[in-house]
Amino acid sequence: MAGLGEYRRKRDPGRTPEPVPADDALPRGDDNTGNDNTFVIQEHHASRLHWDVRLERGGVLVSWAVPKGLPTEPGDIRLAVHTEDHPMEYATFEGEIPQGEYGGGKMLIWDRGTYETVKWSDREVAVVFSGGRVRGKYTFFHGGKSPRDWMVRRSDPPQRPDWAPLPDKIAPMLATPGSLPPADQDDQWAYEFKWDGVRALARVDGGRLRLFARSGNDITGTYPELRPLGEELGSTQVWLDGEIVAFADGKPSFAALQRRMHVTEARLTRRLAADLPVTYVVFDVAHLDGRSCLPLPYTERRALLVSLNLRGPHWQTSPSYPGEGPAVLATARDQALEGIIAKRLGSRYHQGKRTPDWIKITDLRAVEVVIGGWRPGEGRRSDVFGSLMLGIPSADGLRYVGQVGTGFTDEMLRTLTAKLLRLERKTPPFATPVPRERARGARWVRPTLVGEVVFRDWTADGRMRAPSWRGLRPDKRPEDVEGWHGDGR
């Protein structure tokens, strides 16, 4: 019979709610038959989230801590740390282990049931689980020098024949600029507010969150306050789509978000997360627990998203309003929001494509641009730039689309001027002519910085009318900027 000496040494029964049997207590199985067939898997929110897999054997629960949870696909191998044996009473334990105690944190029963032993030796344990969530054959095997160094692999195929592995990458679906659908088609659409933030896709596997910008760049480290979302989702495997938003005075502020977007140094990101936290506003789900959601209509994806109940200190589900286009647009205008997105109820998720199934409706147009030069400022802006010379990529090169001189804070002016001075070049980078009166006195730069502006409309000669600066886009490269279509879109 295995012993509980190590278990008892690590726990003080006066300080933890965990069961701590007396030294002379006789361990026994739940069914009192000696079949050694009970298992429990507990989701343990300790200093690091993990899953404790416990198998009844010789009157105790032989235990492994699995950081990412049991593997879901055949051949997938994951770390499984062999820990001390636990008393059988632990099979029903749920509760909060006090901080400072061994294993401090919340303990929840994630699954339980019975198992069949295929093989049990000092170096290999093969079992077949029959639980509510876990079914099939798994093999634990010793894989290192220390007695704690074990691994676990799934030996059976998934129970569901349609199981699909979690993709490594997902490309976001994009919206087409437009206006409200006709009134007689309003009930075929759902409407969501357009948040003034940056697009982000979230991949969660084994309780670990990774965030990706629209470009595909990993931005997880920039927003540390969003990592607990992975722990909240636990063993759920999912790709989420949404927007990272910074709120100021209760409203989205792209200017505030600017202070967060370019920061990657860990100490600084932690400080900014405390001083200027962001919110991840989730509006779609692309993959969920072995099932691709891409072919599903919007209504089904929306129901799956709502079922995840995403509401936390730094994340929330974006509200959706079917058949209420004019009212939602009026509310967005009243609240000075950027606009709304209309989404066709029956539409699938078109990965990486811009389609009319999502319509972006705003009073202002937004466009990403490449900075090609600047004109010196005057008066109080004599030591910084006065306006930026902007372009959009085209088949012939960078097409000049105008200049912008409004929308800048003093901090933006100073920071951006310093960047521009380091990028100076002698000739304009534009493939199309810059009007002579604009080019006079301008200073040219290497076209490496991407920004975003809003404007009223395009002029007949392809210039932006009444543009205003929104901010740099450090998550974008010039080659990521959508090219010129010839009609100003």
For 443, the token pair is 């200073």
Task: Determine the Cα–Cα distance for residues 189 and 344; give it in Å rounded to an integer.
Answer: 4
- If one counts every other C-beta atom within 10 angstroms of the C-beta of residue 248, the result is 12
The H-assigned helical ranges of 180-336 are 228-233, 254-261, 266-275, 298-307, 325-334
SS3 call for 256: helix
Task: Determine the Cα–Cα distance for residues 442 and 282; give it in Å rounded to an integer.
Answer: 43
Task: Determine the Cα–Cα distance for residues 365 and 179; give it in Å rounded to an integer.
Answer: 12
- CB within 8 A of 322, min separation 6: which ones? 187, 189, 190, 191, 345
Pick the catalytic residue from 68, 106, 145, 194: 194
C-alpha angle 416-417-420 in degrees, rounded to nearest 5: 85
| Helices 254-261 + 266-275 axis angle, to 10 | 160
**Helices H, strands E: what count in the chain?**
8, 31
Task: Determine the Cα–Cα distance for residues 469 and 488; give it in Å rounded to an integer.
Answer: 18
For 343, the token pair is 């989404």
Compute the 3-state secondary structure of the chain and give helix, strand, coil in percent, each to the nearest 5: 20, 40, 40
For 355, the token pair is 């389609």
- If one counts every other C-beta atom within 10 angstroms of the C-beta of residue 165, the result is 14
DSSP track, 271-299 = HHHHHS-EEEEEEEEEEETTEE-TTS-HH
- 426 in active site: no
Active site residues: 194
